[in-house]
Chains A and B, each alone.
Chain A
Amino acid sequence: MSARAPSPEAIAWRRETASLGMWIFLATEVMFFGVLFLAYFHWRVHDPDGWAAASRLTHEWLGTLNTALLLTSSLTMALAVRAGWLGRRRAVPPLLWTTAALGLAFIGVKAVEYTLEWRDGLVPALHFTYSGENARAVQEFFYLYFAMTGVHALHLAIGVGLVAWAAVRLREPPTELSRRDTVECLGLYWHFVDAIWIVLYPLIYLVGLAR
């Protein structure tokens, strides 16, 4: 199976095969996150008022800013994939670095949010001092909030690492004839992480805003 100079058909075959593998992996991730969404909806249907009260305690401006950052990072990631596709190798690393930077910015904003929530005593099990009317719902809400955004942030951090690694690897001329599959698969992963956040955003930040 040594391919010293793989044909264009072989390259295309390999890219489509890698892409199929990545899509199946993303399907597993949907099922993985889906459990948290079920837990969320179970609670929300059970105590809608408590849930809305809890959601009002989140920082929706930071959440909206984060969504904008992540959506933009998806654009730069998609443009990186496109540049690779067009053979514009020199354009790919800067676009990847921008994507990673936007991802890091998201994580930074998240860290700020988590700090604010710690300050406000809204971290269940570790530092939870809320004692208002809906205390139980607030505790459950924030338990799921930290679980869902935490797992998401972990996936994003892994994505940032992989994107940075790809950006470094792509500085030298590729030893294989095409690194397009790597960037394309990374792109799929990155957009998926973005898609999870797109669904998380209204569920976390926008529930009780209409008074």
Chain B
Amino acid sequence: MNSPPRLRVYVCTWLALMALLAGTFTLAHFRIGGLNTALGLAIAAVKVLLVGLFFMHLKRASALVAIFAGAALVWIAILFGLSGTDYATRHPSPAPWTAPDGH
């Protein structure tokens, strides 16, 4: 692995990132309900993947490096997921002095 990726790879990645940026900005203006968030996050995920695979050379990296990159995401998922078991199932009972909006 003595030669880096071709210049084209980097430029095409950049072009794709800019296109996705334009896309996500445009899409955000359309009223599509829950899809707004889902698509916005999905596009962000793709952008991160592009940066990771091509700019950070994850595509050519050893399995060890890929595992550490993935582990961080898995561990964040644990934080979100298990806290989620609390937040998804907790039904707050507001005290009488709390404002009517429930918070």
Contact = CB atoms under 8 A, between A and B. Distances in A.
A and B in contact, CB less than 8 Å: yes
Contacts, number: 126
Contact of B44 (A188, A192, A199): A199
A27 B72 contact: yes
A75 interface: yes
Interface string A32-57: 00110110011001110000000000
Contacts of B36: 206, 210
B103 A191 contact: no
Interface of B: 3-5, 7, 10-11, 13-14, 17-18, 21, 24-25, 28-32, 36-37, 40-41, 43-44, 47-48, 51-52, 54-56, 61-62, 64-65, 68-69, 71-73, 75-76, 79-80, 83, 87, 99, 101, 103
27 contacts: A16-B62, A19-B65, A20-B65, A27-B69, A27-B75, A31-B72, A47-B103, A60-B25, A64-B21, A64-B25, A71-B18, A71-B21, A74-B55, A75-B11, A75-B14, A79-B7, A82-B7, A198-B48, A198-B51, A201-B24, A201-B44, A202-B40, A206-B24, A206-B25, A210-B28, A210-B30, A210-B31
